[in-house]
Amino acid sequence: MPRVCQSAWRVLGRLALEFLRKGANAKVYEGAARKLNVTSDVVQHGVEGLTYLLTESSKLMISEIDFQDSVHVLGFSEDLNKLLLQLYLDHRKEIRSILGELTPELPSYHSLEWRLDVQLASRSLRQQIKPAVTVKLHLNQNGDQTTKVLQTDPATLLHLIQQLEQALGEMKTNHCRRIVRNMK
């Protein structure tokens, strides 16, 4: 591989890592584009593609062999494949930590209060039965406690319970266990 091409990929690798750490920077792309004698769009697309390759590989913590197989399909030279592999191996832990910081903090369950309300009649309808389930859900998020009030009819609540039980049942299958194990 010519020295210019190898240095261009090193620049793109450095920019991809900076993109993950700090986000996109148009001025940096323009400076790299002048240095490499290409347009800033080419640099930007190269950085985005390389960032995607590195983040997806790091998310899945793929092995060296799997990474090489994935990159080999792209049709790059052997030297470039080795350069990309080295970039991945050197920075995969850092990329995983950056991605871990970017994940949103989702609320977690704290407690639940519920009440069953039944409207037996109204002025216009004397023989009406209209049940409603009111749920007060207490959640924790970033140390703060929030409350959500939800109201539904019993039929919808039963359907929701069935769907959640079905989802829990699917989590016990071998396929889902394998996926969850690979996500960690």
Give me Rg for the CA atoms of the chain: 27
| Residue pLDDT, tens place only, 73-103 | 888 888 888 888 888 888 888 888 888 887 7
32-41, 128-137, 151-160: least confident range: 32-41
- Residue whose structure tokens are 């009111």: 134
Listed residue (30, 92, 48) closest to 66, CA to CA: 92
- Output the pLDDT for position 156: 94
Task: State the DSSP code for 69.
Answer: H
pTM over 0.75: no
Query: Is the Cβ–Cβ distance between 114 and 132 less than 8 Å?
Result: no
Letter string b/e over residues 154-176, b meaning 16 or more CB atoms within 10 A of that residue's CB: eeebeeeeeeeeeeeeeeeeeee
Q: Give one DSSP letter per residue of 10-29, joined into a string.
A: HHHHHHHHHHHHH---HHHH
The answer for residues whose C-beta is within 8 angstroms of residue 161's C-beta and 6 or more apart is none
- pLDDT tens readout for residues 158-174: 999 999 999 999 988 88
d(CA 158, CA 170): 18
Section 24-49 average pLDDT: 84
Task: Write down the pLDDT at residue 150.
Answer: 94
Torsion of CA 169, 173, 175, 180, to 10 degrees: 70
Q: What is the tens place of the pLDDT at every residue in 102-120?
A: 777 888 999 999 999 988 8
**Residue with structure tokens 């792309």?**
29
Percentage of the chain lying above the pLDDT 90 cut? 23
What pLDDT sits at residue 128?
Answer: 79
